Amino acid sequence: MSQDSSTRIARDLSRWVEAASPGAQLPSTRSLVAEYGASPVTVQKVLRGLTAQGLVETRPGVGTFVRSVRLARPHDYSWQTAALGVGRSRSLQMASALRAARPGAIDLSSGFPDPELLPDRLIRTAFTRAARSRAVLAGPSPAGLPDLRAWFAAELASGAPASLTAPTADDVIIFPGSQSGLSAAFRSLAGAGEPLIMESPTYWGAILAAAQANVEIVPIPSSAQGPDPADLERALAETGARAFYAQPTYANPTGAQWSAQLSADVLETVRRHKAFLIEDDWAHDFAIDSKPKTLAAQDDAGHVVYLRSLTKSISPAVRVAGVVVRGPVRDRLMHAAQSESIYVSGMLQAVALDVVTQPAWRTHLRNLNEQLGSRRDLLLSSLHEHAPQLQVGHRPKGGLNLWARLPEGTDLGQFVREAEIGGVSVVPGDELFPAEPVAGHVRLTYAGRDPGHYPTAARVLGKILSRPQAS
């Protein structure tokens, strides 16, 4: 039984359940097997999935039925309003990139690459070796394993001019994923009630981390080319902010890669104001048509706090990131890290180090970059042919996403809902603006499962935008 057939059964049954009345009986397993030419095991697996989602319920010896809505006594949670104080509910919502797509949907919303794009064999071998090593019993290393810290330092130093002092392992702190690194950096460099400059739009996790740190976000506009240094200059001068969070390489969601001139201008502006640049290099391993060039490699004066995560490129199960930071601020970040997570699993660090130091890792990255390029071009061409109403900002040179603007007057919420009903999940752009959105956008990933379905997804989106009620 193919994955596509299993997906089709799940999609068809989900739609059937939506249209049916509570208590309606689903077709029997035998009839579903005959209709789809599937095995009973496959059909039962799909039904178990619907049951786990609470859509259906099985009555032994009778059959499977659409789950009835059970009315329970409503609970009064109003007391929590006063207990919680001023709310930040919008900032703290789970992002669409983390919500699982509906069964059978074409997933253009995932924040993580398709498992087929990950180094499966390298990961499994690394876990096996780590399980047989002393890593499973070794005591904690607060800053991280020395060899892994040295690897992060060497990777950054490889792009640095010979005239600058290269970072060392002592300049690196290992975090359990870049989200923890962001939280520590925001708390350490800005602090509660203090301003933090941020591109708009930007990564939803950075908006979340800023909300949790209670910092005051100062947004500056950013485009497919990056931010305007003049906007950064004004924000630093007017607010007295000490830190600027940015993604110079393949930004999420715009895909922007800063030019050498923009990088130099931003770095000079930050230096002039004696401020910090928090450089999030999350997409370093997802190059397609260019080479990543970090600002941190151009700075040895401690102005750039550099974050590089391995979670997306190795595996979601290996939450490991390195933060390269120089000067006294390193101690401050170290204290923030220990107050939150104390230390990172030595087992996961050993796995990450094993993967990235294998000769096959470089081969994997070359294959990954080629596959991402093919997927990007397929999604772009599909949208151009079937959904020309979507204005894709530009053809990104790396990363995982396209950033598309909806036609003027389109209701973003309605568009996203209709896309979901049509079997396509997308990320609504309003989740990615730390300020009010300037227009309706959607983020579309080209790194999700089943890229062969991209033309179908584009047709669905194009039909929605062609309907009068969508605009």
DSSP letters, 26-40, are: PPPHHHHHHHHT--H
Of 363, 371, 370, 314, the residue nearest 120 (C-alpha): 314
Helix (H) or strand (E) holding 352: helix 346-356
Q: What CATH code would you report for 83-118+362-470?
A: 3.90.1150.10
Determine how β-strand 195-200 pairs with β-strand 216-223: parallel
Q: What CATH code would you report for 136-357?
A: 3.40.640.10
Of 220, 232, 305, the residue nearest 273 (C-alpha): 232
Q: How far is it, in rounded angstroms, from Cα 30 to Cα 50?
A: 17
pLDDT of 91 reads: 45
Bond into 201 cis (ω within 30): yes
Q: How far is it, in rounded angstroms, from Cα 248 to Cα 402?
A: 16
DSSP state of 287: B
Contact call for residues 398 and 283 (beta carbons, < 8 A):
yes
Ramachandran angles phi, psi of 325, nearest 5°: -145, 135
Q: What CATH code would you report for 3-66?
A: 1.10.10.10
Domain spans of the chain, in order of start: 3-66, 83-118+362-470, 136-357
pLDDT of 83 reads: 72
pTM over 0.75: yes
Side chain identity at residue 427, one-letter code: V
Helix (H) or strand (E) holding 405: strand 401-405
Q: How far is it, in rounded angstroms, from Cα 173 to Cα 183?
A: 14
User: For residue 226, what are its two tokens?
Assistant: 């990056």
Tens of pLDDT along the chain (471 residues) come to: 455 678 888 889 988 988 888 889 999 999 999 998 888 898 998 998 888 888 888 888 888 999 876 555 566 766 766 676 655 544 445 566 566 667 778 999 999 999 999 999 999 999 999 999 988 888 888 899 999 999 999 999 999 999 999 999 999 999 999 999 999 999 999 989 999 999 999 999 999 999 989 999 999 999 999 999 999 999 999 999 999 999 999 999 999 999 999 999 999 999 999 999 999 999 999 999 999 999 999 999 999 999 999 999 999 999 999 999 999 999 999 998 888 788 899 999 999 999 999 999 999 999 999 999 999 999 999 999 999 999 998 999 999 999 999 999 999 999 999 999 999 999 999 999 998 888 999 999 999 999 999 999 999 999 999 987 544
